[in-house]
Structure 1
Amino acid sequence: MTYEPLHHKYRPQTFADLVGQSAIATTLSNALISERIAPAYLFTGPRGTGKTSSARILAKSLNCLSSDHPTPIPCGKCSVCQAIANGSALDVIEIDAASNTGVDNIREIIERSQFAPVQCRYKVYVIDECHMLSTAAFNALLKTLEEPPDRVIFVLATTDPQRVLPTIISRCQRFDYRRIALDAMVAHLQKIAQIEAIDINLEALTLVAQIANGGLRDAESLLDQLSLLAGTITAERVWDLVGAVPERDLLTLLKVIHGNIPDQVIEQCRHLMNRGKEPLIVLQNLAGFYLNLLLAKTAPNRPEMVAVTALTWQELCTEARTWSLEEILRGQQLLKDSETQLKNTTQPRLWLEVTLLGLLPQAQVIPLVATVAPSRPQTSVERPPEVITAPAPVNEPIKPAVITPTTNVAVPKTEVKTVTSDDNHEQIWQQVLEVMEPPTTRTLLRQHGSLFNMEESSAYLSISSEQLLKMARLRLTNIESAFEAVFQRRIKVHLQVGSATAAMAAEVSQSPAAKMQASPETAPNPPITPENKVMTVVDIPPVKEAIIEKKEAKITEARNPKTPSTELPQKILNFDSSLETLDQDVDVSEILAAAQKLAKSFDGEVVNMGYSLPENSAAETKVNKSVENMTIVRGRPDVNEILDSLEEDEDLPF
């Protein structure tokens, strides 16, 4: 006679035989009694919780010959009940959706469902693991589920309801099967052990139920294996049979890890290896034991939540008092990260020992120190701020000697400093641009911005125009974030209009060295006078000084109005004295030659001024003579026009 496994032999035959699913059993029984049979049912839940068994019980209840109508208690003795139990009933069709996933299989079912039942009252289609059906197969089944033929029932069973189309779920009555409780499973296993005369103690039976993790079929299969052992079955023999690490060995390993004893950790690990335990199994069991330790730490009054014996649970609760939550969670994280490495490595034993040594308290300090280092090397930007904040020219003592007006000793030193700073600023700026986001801001500042000064916690940027400056201010947060990413600290960014050279020159003019040069000991250059001015052939009076003189004259005239006078302005007399100086030193022919050359350079011509001033005095005649001898270049802008146009602007362009 063929041997029948325990999970087949003790399959529930009525709704009352379902273990741990009393709510579902009651609902289906009442539906049968009231004959309110739905056209489609959906049974969902973990494996081994009674989904397929419930479908068979429902089929027998609908078609049992002991009653003229559906009954919640099938007899199990009639030909229909026995045929359904054996799987030979013509009107009860069980389909494995994993091997019948196509739309053609579903169309065949739909075609056959149109025929009336052969020997039963209802034709029942049980589609197991229905989540394996394709989308096209589900869509083909929609219309039939919504409006099935008379006396046709569909029962869908799945362990993954998320993969079932919502349109299918909405057309079915859904029943969710939960994992079987530990007490109910232990009671059911005790009943089987008594019937089968299996010598197993309660501690081992509880361990079997815990290992099954709520699946009754898995528990019955493991009990079937244990029944083949001779003698009394204990918890240690259960651990040996399932190939897991015994909980006593895991507890010992946990104690030596917390005791910070490296040699005993290695010794315990090799002891498990010598007993034939796989490194990956040891790692996974230890990770599960860390979870038990965490539960013992947080919920010491809930022993039913763990798969350990009562004695081990008591010792685990005692051990958990010496652990902190941070240590337990850190150990679980390390075991989780090492599991992938053990699966892919060719030396799992080596890396298991390394992982166990990494669980020691003294080894867990190293990652905390290593996380302090920045993720990106910043060697090129560590020194530049120190160079910028310490200007070299100030360190040299300034002698109290009077500086001549035409000499400025500080200019060469300032230029050397600017070149050096520009090199450092350019390096810093390029690094900031590399990490700047978004790309539009990076492109804008790369083309129209530059870094001209850098301090300890401030950065100064110059933007090429006022319009672009407004755009850059809108992106100031992104710019400061880029500086913070480079320097690993908060940097305040200042924006202004102008090129980097002009901004740097303005900064140098406000530096301590420039202020010391402008002190009374080093007076600024005196104003240009006829005594110290050396004019060339094409020299003209400075426009800036002429504007200032003209403005001062207007202000004085407005405050102290005078009567009209025939005296010529003093600047014309000064200009005439300059011409006399030129007449004494330079030949007129040379002046004309220079004027011709100057006119030729911009396609102009030399013309003679053919007007004369009225004869009023000798001084005016002298000036008239000078003016008659003057020559101008046609095409060159008049100086007075330049002065008048510049007077209209409030700001000087110098």
Structure 2
Amino acid sequence: MAYEPLHHKYRPQRFGDVVGQGPIVTTLTNALKAGRIAHAYLFTGSRGTGKTTTARLIAKALNCIHGPTPDPCGRCEQCLAIATGSALDVIEIDAASNTGVDNIRELIERAQFAPVQSRQKVYILDEVHMLSSAAFNCLLKTLEEPPAHVTFVLATTDPQKVLPTVISRCQRFDFRRIPLTDMVKHLEEIAWKEDIDIEHEAVELVAQIAQGGLRDAESLLDQLALLEGTIGAERIWQLVGAVPERELLVIGECIQAGDSTRLIEQVRRLLDSGKEPLQVLQDLLGFYRDLLIAHTAPDRRDLVAVTAASWQQMCERAKTLSIPQLLALQERLRQAEPQIKTSTQPRLWLEVGLLGLLASPSQNQPVALAPAAARPAAPVPVPPPRPAEERPTPPPPAAPRGVEERPNSVPQPPVEPTPPQRPQVPPPSIEPAAAIHRPARPSGSTPDGTGLRERWPEWIRLIPQPTQSLMSSSFWLEETPKRLVIGFTTEPLVKRASEPRRLKQIQEVLQQFLGRPIEVQFHIGKAPAAAPAVAVASSQSAAYTPPPVSFSPPAPPEVTPVSPTTVAPPSAAKPPLSDEEPDELDRAARGLAEFFNGEVISFDGEAEELPGATQPGAAEVSDIDDDEDIPF
């Protein structure tokens, strides 16, 4: 007699033998007792959970000689024929190979005929989701109003692909994965009946590897029965071709300790033993998933496929790693998986990927998962400049200084000396710098109802380089609670900022800064009067704030004879600054100009001679060319 596999030999023959599906068994047995049998059933669930077995039990219960009954005898002619698959009136159809309309039409024609030997004709359509839409529609009418002697049982592992009109015409039962305890008990009974010498931990490991599929567990136990001696966990790992948990613990220890030599040796030993690079990577992904469970739920060993001793080690190891670090390591391994799958040198990329994990896991953290201490620090508040009244006003000089005495200034025509000015009482001093250097918000404060426009420099400085340099030339255009429009002056800048990598980086920083999701768009527009680039620069380098300069109004000009070749500018009549303050302001303005690769045009009174001059005492900086001089 041919050998009978364990999953066939120990297939349930009564409803009481079904493992792990108590609610479904109770419902069906009560329906059989009450005689309320539906004309169509839909069984859904993953593989190996008992869908086809339960369908055969329904056929037995309906056609047993003592039935309909919830306890078929299993000894009559009909029960034996159904158990062996030779019953004429119980038709099993593989929908994966009979997907067309013609197959369903033939089924409908045969369903009209009365049963040959049995009381009820039962059609079992396995993997019914593989039928085409036309075949489903062809079946609808018969499924809704079948002949009185016909019962349909549809089984599928993917109910989402079944038409809703079909589901609505059936009684649906969702088969769950077999619980670990029920599966272990069932496997130990089989091992005892078949005289298989296997340890209890090995049985638990078989059940965990099966992932809720009883047929897979019974098939694996059938393979283990061919081994000699006592079967332990180590022999199971060798049989299934996976990396043993002990080896995974060693690899994890090498990664955490940064031991590159030992890590390479361990990987080479696994590969030389016949393990595939992709299998090693996937098992390592599962290992870090188990570590994550050990960190969050150390009392749920039933959720992982490891032995008790390895679980204790993993719980101790998990205490030394944070959840962001574990997620970062998993993300790096996940990124390496497609490369190993498609590469012609998977061994090389496995070693490169694992060596890339040797750096501190905190360096690999995603920004969204980093703890508060690892996030970029908020901008340090800059104290506001002291009022001008607190600064001593420099005494007016005895004689005016010529414009040509200022170093590195724009050359001016020679000016005739003017007569000494009459003493006047100086008016209150003016501080043009106060409009630029506003008091910063305290560090770590969250945005409130004031909007993002006032805090533009603060969030831009959180963007990593070189994107930060690009965004330094941006400005606020429009803002709603869910959308922010950022402006640039030229189209090339908009295109560079709209690149997917830059846009994602900018959006993540902005969402972290605001504490809410927001959509970012880029448009071409006109920069406001206060250039954003200067504002960003002032927020990024708070090393020096130019002191405000006091100015006195010019005296009424007096007519003086001049030579035909020289013209006295109107600013010549203004009193010059003190000896110290112009040098200080000059250094600050030139430092600002060097930061933007610009050029100082004028100071103080010279601004009156230039078109577009706005404030006295404020340095003018030339614009940066959009295509050539962008500093990134």
Spell out, residue by residue over 1:306-362, the C-alpha distance to the aligned partner (whole angstroms, 9 max, x if none).
000000000100011111112110110111111111111111111111111111134
Cα distance, 1:477 vs structure 2: 6.9
Tell me if 1:2 matches 2:17: no
1:339 match:
337
Cα distance, 1:81 vs structure 2: 0.6
Amino acid at match of 1:244: A
2:293 match:
295
Q: 2:356 aligns with which of 333, 355, 358?
A: 358
1:175 match:
173
Tell me, in whole angstroms, the C-alpha distance in 2 between the residues paired with 1:282 and 1:334.
14
Amino acid at match of 1:38: A
Tell me, in whole angstroms, the C-alpha distance in 2 between the residues paired with 1:187 and 1:195.
13
1:43 match:
43
Q: 2:199 aligns with which of 194, 198, 201?
A: 201
Amino acid at match of 1:123: K
Q: Which protein, 1 or 2, shows the higher relative CO under an 8 Å CA cutoff with sep ≥ 6? A: 2
Contact 2:205 2:233 in 1 (8 A): yes
Tell me, in whole angstroms, the C-alpha distance in 2 between the residues paired with 1:71 and 1:202.
38
Q: Could you say which structure has the larger radius of gyration? A: 1
Contact 1:186 1:209 in 2 (8 A): yes
Cα distance, 1:304 vs structure 2: 0.6
Tell me if 1:26 matches 2:26: yes
Contact 2:324 2:365 in 1 (8 A): no
Following superposition, which runs of at least 4 residues in structure 1 exceed 3 angstroms of deviation? 362-369, 392-399, 455-461, 476-479, 481-496, 518-525
1:230 match:
228
Contact 2:127 2:156 in 1 (8 A): yes
Tell me if 1:396 matches 2:396: no
Cα distance, 1:33 vs structure 2: 0.6
Amino acid at match of 1:396: P
Spell out, residue by residue over 1:289-315, the C-alpha distance to the aligned partner (whole angstroms, 9 max, x if none).
000000001110111110000000001
CA change 1:61–1:361 in 2 (3 A) is: same
Contact 2:61 2:70 in 1 (8 A): yes
Tell me, in whole angstroms, the C-alpha distance in 1 between the residues paired with 2:28 and 2:283.
40
Amino acid at match of 1:44: T
Question: TM-score normalized by structure 2?
Answer: 0.62
Spell out, residue by residue over 1:366-423, the C-alpha distance to the aligned partner (whole angstroms, 9 max, x if none).
7989xxxxxxxxxxxxxxxxxxxxxx996435643399xxxxxxxxxxxxxxxxxxxx
Tell me, in whole angstroms, the C-alpha distance in 1 between the residues paired with 2:559 and 2:261.
82
Give the secondary structure class of the aligned counterpart of 1:117.
coil
Contact 2:82 2:90 in 1 (8 A): yes
Cα distance, 1:494 vs structure 2: 4.8
Amino acid at match of 1:298: T
Amino acid at match of 1:199: D
Amino acid at match of 2:6: L
1:15 match:
15
2:582 match:
none
Contact 1:402 1:521 in 2 (8 A): no
Spell out, residue by residue over 1:490-543, the C-alpha distance to the aligned partner (whole angstroms, 9 max, x if none).
9994579xxxxxxxxxxxxxxxxxx99x99669899xxxxxxxxxxxxxxxxxx
Tell me if 1:122 matches 2:108: no
Q: 1:154 aligns with which of 149, 152, 155?
A: 152
Amino acid at match of 2:56: R
Contact 2:20 2:178 in 1 (8 A): yes
> Structure 1, unaligned stretches of length 5 or more?
370-391, 404-454, 462-470, 497-514, 526-654
Amino acid at match of 2:415: P
Tell me, in whole angstroms, the C-alpha distance in 1 between the residues paired with 2:181 and 2:311.
17
2:87 match:
89
Cα distance, 1:138 vs structure 2: 0.3
CA change 1:256–1:112 in 2 (3 A) is: same
Tell me, in whole angstroms, the C-alpha distance in 2 between the residues paired with 1:48 and 1:330.
35
Amino acid at match of 2:13: Q
Q: 1:218 aligns with which of 204, 216, 219?
A: 216
1:425 match:
none
Contact 1:401 1:521 in 2 (8 A): no
Cα distance, 1:256 vs structure 2: 1.1
CA change 1:134–1:398 in 2 (3 A) is: same
Tell me, in whole angstroms, the C-alpha distance in 2 between the residues paired with 1:185 and 1:237.
20
Tell me, in whole angstroms, the C-alpha distance in 1 between the residues paired with 2:151 and 2:417.
114
How many residues in Structure 1 have an aligned counterpart in Structure 2?
A: 422
Please provide the CA RMSD for this pair: 3.5
Tell me, in whole angstroms, the C-alpha distance in 1 between the residues paired with 2:101 and 2:559.
100
Alignment of 1:510-521 (within 5 A): none
Give the secondary structure class of the aligned counterpart of 1:23.
helix
Q: 1:480 aligns with which of 487, 494, 500?
A: 487
Alignment of 1:462-541 (within 5 A): 478=485, 480=487, 493-494=526-527
Tell me if 1:313 matches 2:297: no
Amino acid at match of 2:192: Q
More helix by share: 1
Contact 2:475 2:487 in 1 (8 A): no
Tell me, in whole angstroms, the C-alpha distance in 2 between the residues paired with 1:6 and 1:355.
42
Task: Indicate the larger mover: 119-128 or 355-364.
Answer: 355-364
Contact 1:11 1:53 in 2 (8 A): yes
Cα distance, 1:119 vs structure 2: 0.8
Give the secondary structure class of the aligned counterpart of 1:280.
helix
> Structure 2, unaligned stretches of length 5 or more?
368-406, 419-470, 511-523, 530-550, 562-632
2:443 match:
none
